[in-house]
Chains A and B, each alone.
Chain A
Amino acid sequence: MGDAPEKARLKEIADRLAVLKEDAAKPHSRKRADCQDRRGMALGMRMAVDLVSGVVVGAGMGYVLDLLCGTFPVLFAVFLIFGGAAGVMNAYRASKALENDRQQEKDVKG
C-alpha cells in the first residue's frame, strides 16, 4: 500500500545525493560564488586606499632619497609621479582581478 510514496521519497533522496556529489566533485566553485559579494566589497575598499597610498609612499620614498643624496626637489618630484602611477596600477590590477573572477564565474555557470 505505502510502496509508491516510499519509492518516490527514495528517488528524491537519490536525486538530492546526486546533486550534492556533483557539487563535492568541484570543491571551489560554490565557495567562490558565496564569497563573490564580500570579495567585491573588499576589492572596492582596496582600490580606494591603494590609489592614495601609492602617492603617499612614493612621495615619502622620494623625500627620504632626497635627504640621503642632498638633491631636495628632484627625486621627490620624480617619485611623486611614480607613486601616482603605482597607485593607478594597483587599482587597475585589483579591477582586473575582479574581472577575471567574473569571467571564471561565467565559465563555471555556462
Chain B
Amino acid sequence: MSGPIEQFEIKPLMPLTIADVNVSFTNSALMMVIATVIGSFFMLLAARKKAIVPGPLQSAAEMLYEFILGMIDANIGTDGRRFFPFIFTMFMFVALGNVLGLLPYSFTYTSHVAAVGTLALTTMVILVVVGLYKNGLKFLHIFCPSGTPALLMPVLVPIEMISFVSKPFSLTVRLVANMMVGHIMLKIIAGFVAMIGLAGIVPIGFDVMITIFEMGIAFLQAYIFTILCCIYLNDALHVH
C-alpha cells in the first residue's frame, strides 16, 4: 500500500531538459493546464450567449463575477477594479486546483510550495510595482508608519520589513498546509478501510464526510487567498 505522502510526488510525464534546466512536463503541469482549460471554457461558454435573462451557466458565471467584484469593492474600493482580471484569474486557478485535486487519480498542484509560492510572489511583485508607481517614494512609508518617534526607527523598520516579507510566506503556507493536511487525512483514513475488513464501512463513511468537508475547504481557502491578496493590494495602494 502506498504511503499517504506519495500522492504529492511530482512525476515527469514528458522528460525534457533545456540547457541543463529540467523543464519536464509533469503531472502538476498537466493539472494546471486542465484547470486553465476548464476555467477558460467555462467562462467563454457562459459568456457566449450574452442573454439578458441568463441561463443556468451564465447565471453561475455572473455570480462568480459579482462575487469577486464585491470582494474588490469592499476591500480595495472602486479604484481596485483595474485588478479585477488578475484577481479573478487567480481565484479561478486556485479554486479549480483545490477542487480538481479532490478527484481520484488527479494531482493537487496547490499542495506544492513551488506553485503557490509563485502565485504569492507574483502578487507581491505586482503590489510593489503598483505601489511605487502610484505613490512614488511615499510607498516606503509602509515600512515606517507616520508619527513614529525617531528613537524607535531602528527597531520598527526591521519589524515592518519582516512583516512585509512574511506576507507571501504566510499566504503560501496557509494554502499549502490546508491542502496537504486534507489530502493526507483522506488517504490515512482510506488506508484503514482495507485493514479492518467488514468494519471498514465506518472509515468509508468518515471519508465521505471528510470529502464533503474538503470541498468546502477548497473554496474557502481559494477565497481566503484572494481576499488576502486584495487586502495587501489595498495596503500598497492607499498608503497613509
Contact = CB atoms under 8 A, between A and B. Distances in A.
Interface string B195-233: 000000000000000000000000010011001100100
Contacts of A35: 70-71, 74
Residue among B158, B163, B224 facing the most chain A CB atoms (10 A cut-off): B163
Categorize the interface residue count of chain A: 20 to 34
A87 B224 CA distance: 19
A34 interface: yes
Interface in B65-81: 70-71, 73-74
Contacts, number: 73
A45 B170 CA distance: 10
B74 A86 contact: no
Contacts of B73: 27-28, 31
Interface in B33-91: 70-71, 73-74
A85 B228 contact: no
Categorize the interface residue count of chain B: 20 to 34
B180 interface: no
B74 A53 contact: no
Contacts of B158: 79, 82
A14 B166 CA distance: 53
Tell me whether chain B's interface is mostly helix, strand or loop, or mixed.
helix
Interface in A29-46: 31-32, 34-35, 38-39, 41-42, 45-46
A53 B170 contact: yes
A45 B222 CA distance: 12
19 contacts: A27-B73, A28-B73, A35-B70, A39-B74, A39-B227, A42-B227, A42-B228, A46-B174, A50-B166, A50-B170, A53-B173, A57-B162, A57-B169, A82-B158, A83-B166, A86-B159, A86-B160, A90-B163, A90-B170
Interface of A: 27-28, 31-32, 34-35, 38-39, 41-42, 45-46, 49-50, 52-54, 56-58, 61, 79, 82-83, 85-87, 89-90, 97
Interface of B: 70-71, 73-74, 155, 158-160, 162-163, 165-166, 169-170, 173-174, 220, 223-224, 227-228, 231
Q: List the 5 closest A-B pairs by CB distance, nearest first.
A: A53-B170, A86-B163, A86-B162, A57-B166, A53-B166
